[in-house]
């Protein structure tokens, strides 16, 4: 493709800026598909926008492609975290969950990974030690968390709240931990209660027996088991959608609506968030596409439409015309 066929360069660059402003960080190949322009030309124009300081370049890459974004869109780089290496992804998730990490307490591999994920991890000194804060946590807040000990408490809480098999609940969950114990299992919630000593001896037991027992004393938490109401069986449509999500390895960020004929949520697809809409319809028509586009515009997200139904001619034209904003997948 010759450069002259790419249209007016200034107009194309403005379209690029509008696309990134609406859809967030992007890579050259996606921009080329959106503009229907050769990727070499797109890369050249993105480089110009970069030199004009209208765009910023990320530290991480998708394959060999850099990620371009506007200032203020740094948080949206989370949508590309799946492209991190396995160890970098582990460090990313750990830092995201804890907000702040103590560098010297990390395993060597995690310490290396934290230094590699420069888009998300920022080092700073506090009380003579090196810490890492997450992208969404400013340094003042990070120092406040360290000084208040909240990060330590959170880590301890997560260790204690690790899921336990059901047989532990049935046995009374014997433990040497003195304090609050929270145990969760599928379908069961266990209310937090202060652990207390339990002795098999009554008031008339011999002192020697009591003494021997106390030496081997274990602490048992008092627990209250609350069984949740049995969940309603899923429809065939829901089962198919769940199978599609699992096989497509989509990550659900938020469930918005779950009706008999329609399921709506926010998922991560192709490296960024999409409005996920599944419809139990035999035919997808033009009015469906228009309605979807309005929903996507309202939430400022591109759309992934999934259905067993076939789009009619007008719907196909709409999907093709707005292919940068809507994607269609047919259920098997």
Give the mean model confidence (pLDDT) for residues 61-86: 90
Range of the domain at 149: 84-157
In a domain, residue 25? The reply is yes
**What sign for the dihedral angle of Cα 51, 54, 58, 61?**
negative
Q: How far apart are the first and last CA of the chain?
A: 37
Q: Which of 129, 157, 185 is the last residue of a domain?
A: 157
Residue 54: pLDDT above 90? yes
Q: Are residues 53 and 94 in the same domain?
A: no
53 vs 187, which has greater pLDDT?
A: 53
In a domain, residue 79? The reply is no
Q: Are residues 175 and 195 in the same domain?
A: yes
Q: Are residues 150 and 170 in the same domain?
A: no
Q: Are residues 282 and 299 in the same domain?
A: yes
For residue 212, what are its two tokens? 């021997």
Residue 70: pLDDT above 90? yes
Q: Are residues 240 and 326 in the same domain?
A: yes
Q: Are residues 207 and 139 in the same domain?
A: no
What pLDDT score was predicted for residue 230?
A: 59
CATH at residue 109: 1.10.10
Q: Are residues 190 and 116 in the same domain?
A: no
84 vs 253, which has greater pLDDT?
A: 84
36 vs 5, which has greater pLDDT?
A: 36
332 vs 27, which has greater pLDDT?
A: 27
Q: Which of 157, 183, 199 is the last residue of a domain?
A: 157
- Give pairs for 132-138: CB < 8 Å, separation 24+: 132/95, 132/100, 132/101, 132/103, 133/95, 133/99, 133/100, 134/95, 134/96, 134/98, 134/99, 134/100, 135/74, 135/75, 135/77, 135/78, 136/75, 137/99, 137/100
In a domain, residue 178? The reply is yes
In a domain, residue 78? The reply is no
- Give pairs for 13-16: CB < 8 Å, separation 24+: 13/45, 13/48, 13/49, 16/42, 16/45, 16/46, 16/49
| pLDDT tens, residue by residue, 259-301 | 778 888 888 877 778 889 999 888 999 888 888 888 888 888 8
| pLDDT tens, residue by residue, 176-211 | 333 444 444 434 444 444 443 334 444 444 455 545
Q: Are residues 326 and 280 in the same domain?
A: yes
**Average of per-residue pLDDT values in the chain:** 75
CATH at residue 35: 1.10.10.10
Query: Distance between CA atoms of 176 and 179, rounded to whole angstroms?
Result: 10
In a domain, residue 231? The reply is no
pTM > 0.85: no
In a domain, residue 68? The reply is yes
- How many folded domains does the chain comprise? 4
Q: Are residues 240 and 200 in the same domain?
A: no
Query: Distance between CA atoms of 182 and 301, rounded to whole angstroms?
Result: 38
Q: Are residues 101 and 179 in the same domain?
A: no
Q: Which of 226, 254, 273 is the last residue of a domain?
A: 226
CATH at residue 296: 3.40.1350.10
Q: Are residues 285 and 208 in the same domain?
A: no
In a domain, residue 111? The reply is yes
Give the mean model confidence (pLDDT) for residues 215-226: 43
In a domain, residue 135? The reply is yes
Q: Are residues 139 and 93 in the same domain?
A: yes
């Amino acid at each position: 493709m010759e450069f002259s066929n790419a249209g007016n360069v200034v107009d194309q660059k403005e379209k690029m800026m509008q696309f990134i402003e609406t859809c967030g960080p992007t890579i050259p190949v996606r921009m080329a598909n959106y503009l229907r322009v050769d990727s070499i030309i797109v890369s050249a124009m993105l480089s110009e926008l970069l030199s004009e300081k209208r765009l910023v370049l990320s530290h991480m890459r998708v394959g060999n492609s850099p990620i371009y974004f506007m200032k203020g869109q740094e948080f949206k780089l989370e949508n590309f975290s799946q492209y991190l290496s396995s160890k970098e992804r582990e460090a990313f998730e750990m830092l995201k969950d804890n907000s702040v990490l103590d560098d010297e307490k990390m395993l060597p591999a995690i310490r290396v990974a934290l230094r590699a994920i420069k888009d998300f991890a920022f080092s700073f000194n506090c009380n003579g030690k090196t810490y890492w804060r997450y992208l969404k946590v400013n340094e003042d807040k990070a120092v406040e968390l360290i000084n208040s000990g909240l990060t330590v408490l959170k880590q301890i809480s997560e260790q204690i709240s690790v899921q336990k098999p059901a047989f532990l609940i049935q046995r009374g969950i014997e433990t040497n931990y003195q304090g609050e114990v929270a145990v969760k299992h599928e379908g069961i919630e266990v209310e937090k209660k202060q652990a207390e000593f339990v002795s098999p001896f009554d008031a008339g037991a011999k002192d020697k027996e009591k003494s021997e027992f106390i030496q081997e004393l274990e602490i048992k938490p008092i627990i209250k088991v609350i069984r949740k109401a049995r969940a309603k069986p899923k429809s065939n449509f829901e089962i198919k959608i769940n199978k599609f999500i699992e096989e497509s390895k989509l990550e659900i960020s938020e469930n918005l609506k779950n009706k008999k004929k329609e399921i709506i949520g926010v998922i991560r697809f192709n490296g960024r968030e999409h409005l996920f809409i599944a419809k139990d319809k035999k035919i997808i028509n033009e009015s469906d596409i228009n309605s979807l586009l309005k929903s996507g515009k309202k939430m400022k997200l591109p759309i992934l439409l999934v259905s067993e139904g076939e789009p009619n001619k007008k719907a196909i034209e709409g999907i093709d015309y707005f292919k940068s904003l809507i994607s269609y997948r047919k259920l098997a």
